[in-house]
Amino acid sequence: MNNLQKTSQWDDLLKLAIEARENSYSPYSHYKVGAALLTTSGKTFTGCNIENAAYTPSNCAERTAIFKAVSEGERDFAAIAVATSNSVAPCGVCRQVMREFAPNLTIILGDIKGNYRVVSLTDLLPDSFGPENLETD
Protein backbone atom coordinates (compact mmCIF):
# COMPACT_ATOMS: atom_id res chain seq x y z
CA MET A 1 0.00 0.00 0.00
CA ASN A 2 1.05 3.60 -0.35
CA ASN A 3 1.66 6.28 2.26
CA LEU A 4 -1.99 7.10 3.00
CA GLN A 5 -2.20 6.21 6.68
CA LYS A 6 -4.87 8.18 8.48
CA THR A 7 -8.17 6.38 8.87
CA SER A 8 -9.88 9.77 9.12
CA GLN A 9 -8.76 10.42 5.52
CA TRP A 10 -10.45 7.21 4.50
CA ASP A 11 -13.63 8.23 6.37
CA ASP A 12 -13.65 11.63 4.65
CA LEU A 13 -13.00 10.13 1.24
CA LEU A 14 -15.82 7.63 1.68
CA LYS A 15 -18.22 10.42 2.70
CA LEU A 16 -17.42 12.22 -0.55
CA ALA A 17 -18.02 9.01 -2.51
CA ILE A 18 -21.38 8.52 -0.80
CA GLU A 19 -22.32 12.08 -1.73
CA ALA A 20 -21.18 11.56 -5.34
CA ARG A 21 -23.33 8.42 -5.48
CA GLU A 22 -26.42 10.63 -5.23
CA ASN A 23 -25.62 12.08 -8.68
CA SER A 24 -25.68 8.63 -10.28
CA TYR A 25 -27.60 8.32 -13.52
CA SER A 26 -28.61 4.66 -13.33
CA PRO A 27 -32.13 4.25 -14.77
CA TYR A 28 -31.35 0.76 -16.15
CA SER A 29 -29.45 -1.06 -13.42
CA HIS A 30 -30.80 1.05 -10.54
CA TYR A 31 -27.38 0.43 -8.95
CA LYS A 32 -25.87 3.71 -7.79
CA VAL A 33 -22.10 4.03 -7.39
CA GLY A 34 -20.05 6.97 -6.22
CA ALA A 35 -16.29 7.43 -6.13
CA ALA A 36 -13.88 9.92 -4.62
CA LEU A 37 -10.29 9.98 -5.80
CA LEU A 38 -7.45 11.50 -3.78
CA THR A 39 -4.38 12.64 -5.68
CA THR A 40 -0.90 12.62 -4.21
CA SER A 41 -1.03 16.44 -4.35
CA GLY A 42 -4.06 16.39 -2.03
CA LYS A 43 -6.78 17.24 -4.54
CA THR A 44 -10.02 15.26 -4.60
CA PHE A 45 -12.11 14.35 -7.65
CA THR A 46 -15.51 12.70 -7.45
CA GLY A 47 -17.51 10.67 -9.94
CA CYS A 48 -20.67 8.63 -10.27
CA ASN A 49 -21.81 5.94 -12.64
CA ILE A 50 -23.52 7.23 -15.76
CA GLU A 51 -25.57 4.74 -17.76
CA ASN A 52 -26.78 4.80 -21.34
CA ALA A 53 -29.64 2.97 -23.04
CA ALA A 54 -27.10 1.39 -25.42
CA TYR A 55 -25.21 0.06 -22.34
CA THR A 56 -21.65 0.09 -23.73
CA PRO A 57 -21.34 3.90 -23.63
CA SER A 58 -21.98 3.75 -19.87
CA ASN A 59 -19.18 4.84 -17.53
CA CYS A 60 -18.40 3.65 -14.03
CA ALA A 61 -17.96 6.03 -11.09
CA GLU A 62 -14.31 5.13 -10.63
CA ARG A 63 -13.43 5.90 -14.23
CA THR A 64 -15.46 9.10 -14.14
CA ALA A 65 -13.40 10.35 -11.18
CA ILE A 66 -10.10 9.26 -12.72
CA PHE A 67 -10.89 10.78 -16.11
CA LYS A 68 -11.92 14.05 -14.45
CA ALA A 69 -8.60 14.15 -12.59
CA VAL A 70 -6.56 13.30 -15.68
CA SER A 71 -8.41 15.95 -17.70
CA GLU A 72 -7.36 18.47 -15.05
CA GLY A 73 -3.70 17.49 -15.35
CA GLU A 74 -3.44 15.10 -12.40
CA ARG A 75 -1.62 11.81 -12.96
CA ASP A 76 -0.60 10.58 -9.51
CA PHE A 77 -3.23 9.04 -7.25
CA ALA A 78 -3.03 7.96 -3.61
CA ALA A 79 -6.45 6.46 -2.87
CA ILE A 80 -9.96 6.02 -4.17
CA ALA A 81 -13.13 5.40 -2.18
CA VAL A 82 -15.97 3.57 -3.88
CA ALA A 83 -19.45 3.72 -2.35
CA THR A 84 -22.16 1.20 -3.24
CA SER A 85 -25.09 -0.25 -1.37
CA ASN A 86 -23.06 -3.38 -0.60
CA SER A 87 -19.30 -2.56 -0.73
CA VAL A 88 -18.63 -4.19 -4.10
CA ALA A 89 -15.14 -4.04 -5.61
CA PRO A 90 -14.54 -2.19 -8.91
CA CYS A 91 -15.07 -3.96 -12.23
CA GLY A 92 -12.14 -5.24 -14.24
CA VAL A 93 -12.11 -2.28 -16.62
CA CYS A 94 -11.91 0.16 -13.71
CA ARG A 95 -9.14 -1.88 -12.11
CA GLN A 96 -7.14 -1.67 -15.34
CA VAL A 97 -7.68 2.12 -15.59
CA MET A 98 -6.55 2.48 -11.97
CA ARG A 99 -3.47 0.40 -12.78
CA GLU A 100 -2.49 2.78 -15.58
CA PHE A 101 -1.97 5.61 -13.10
CA ALA A 102 -1.47 4.07 -9.67
CA PRO A 103 -0.24 0.48 -9.42
CA ASN A 104 -0.03 0.84 -5.62
CA LEU A 105 -3.40 2.53 -5.16
CA THR A 106 -5.25 2.21 -1.87
CA ILE A 107 -8.93 1.36 -2.42
CA ILE A 108 -11.62 1.99 0.18
CA LEU A 109 -14.66 -0.19 -0.53
CA GLY A 110 -17.61 1.20 1.37
CA ASP A 111 -21.33 1.02 1.74
CA ILE A 112 -23.84 3.83 2.15
CA LYS A 113 -23.80 3.45 5.95
CA GLY A 114 -20.10 4.32 6.09
CA ASN A 115 -18.78 0.82 6.69
CA TYR A 116 -15.71 -0.04 4.66
CA ARG A 117 -12.71 -2.25 4.09
CA VAL A 118 -9.38 -1.18 2.65
CA VAL A 119 -7.53 -3.14 -0.03
CA SER A 120 -4.67 -2.46 -2.40
CA LEU A 121 -4.99 -2.50 -6.15
CA THR A 122 -2.48 -5.35 -6.25
CA ASP A 123 -4.91 -7.34 -4.08
CA LEU A 124 -7.64 -6.80 -6.69
CA LEU A 125 -5.47 -7.03 -9.81
CA PRO A 126 -2.49 -9.31 -9.19
CA ASP A 127 0.15 -9.77 -11.88
CA SER A 128 -1.29 -6.81 -13.75
CA PHE A 129 -0.39 -5.44 -17.16
CA GLY A 130 0.93 -1.89 -17.27
CA PRO A 131 2.78 0.59 -19.48
CA GLU A 132 6.12 -0.98 -18.57
CA ASN A 133 5.01 -4.22 -20.20
CA LEU A 134 4.85 -2.65 -23.64
CA GLU A 135 7.92 -3.42 -25.68
CA THR A 136 8.92 -1.39 -28.68
CA ASP A 137 11.08 -2.63 -31.51
- Alpha-carbon distance of 17 to 20, in angstroms, equals 5
Enumerate the domain spans of the chain.
7-124
Homologous superfamily in CATH for domain 7-124: Cytidine Deaminase, domain 2 (3.40.140.10)
Question: Which residues are tagged catalytic?
Answer: 62
State the average pLDDT for the chain: 93
Q: How far apart are the first and last CA of the chain?
A: 34
Q: Is the pLDDT of residue 66 over 50?
A: yes
Q: Is the pLDDT of residue 3 over 60?
A: no
Edge-first strand order for the sheet with 34-39 is 44-48, 34-39, 77-84, 106-111, 116-120
Q: What is the pTM of this model?
A: 0.92
